[in-house]
């Protein structure tokens, strides 16, 4: 490598090196936590756009404010049923996409 020239790495290469290769339990856990974090962020953003408190959303869904807080901060996993209820209470459309053998199944 020429002096002063930095080698660049793709995000996939960095993940493989520092988190683990796809299919490893470490990588699966990372990917799961990342999805939960994104989901929590979407719930919080939708709630705030509706000018609702966590308590108000919890009442609409039938859960305590603490449960909404945990969903938004991704400190626990949630059932699909709870997630669907939250987005319905927020009057937000949610779609699930499942890919099986190269074909997508659309749910929600």
Assigned domain for 48 exists: yes
CATH classification at residue 35: 1.10.260.40
Region of 4 please: left (phi>0), alpha (psi -120 to 50) or beta.
Answer: left
CB contact at 8 A, 97 and 105: yes
Residue 72, in any domain of the structure: yes
Residue 58 lies in a domain: yes
* DSSP classification of residue 25: H
Does the residue 101 lie in any domain?
A: yes
Domain span at residue 44?
11-107
pLDDT in tens, the chain (108 residues): 567 788 898 988 888 888 899 889 998 888 888 888 888 898 999 999 999 999 999 999 999 999 999 889 876 667 778 888 898 999 988 777 666 676 665 554
1 assigned to some structural domain: no
Number of domains in the chain: 1
Asked whether residue 42 is domain-assigned, the answer is yes
The pTM of this model reads: 0.66
In a domain? residue 91 = yes
Question: 100 forms bridges with which residues in the sheet?
Answer: 103
């Amino acid at each position: 490598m020429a002096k002063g020239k930095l080698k660049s790495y793709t995000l996939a290469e960095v993940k493989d090196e520092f988190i683990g290769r796809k299919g490893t339990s470490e990588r699966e856990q990372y990917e799961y936590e990342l999805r939960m974090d994104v989901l929590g962020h979407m719930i919080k953003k939708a709630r705030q756009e509706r000018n609702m408190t966590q308590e108000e959303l919890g009442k609409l869904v039938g859960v305590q404010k603490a449960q909404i807080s945990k969903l938004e901060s991704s400190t626990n996993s949630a059932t699909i049923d709870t997630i669907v209820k939250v987005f319905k209470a927020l009057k937000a459309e949610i779609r699930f996409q499942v890919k099986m053998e190269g074909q997508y199944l659309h749910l929600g």
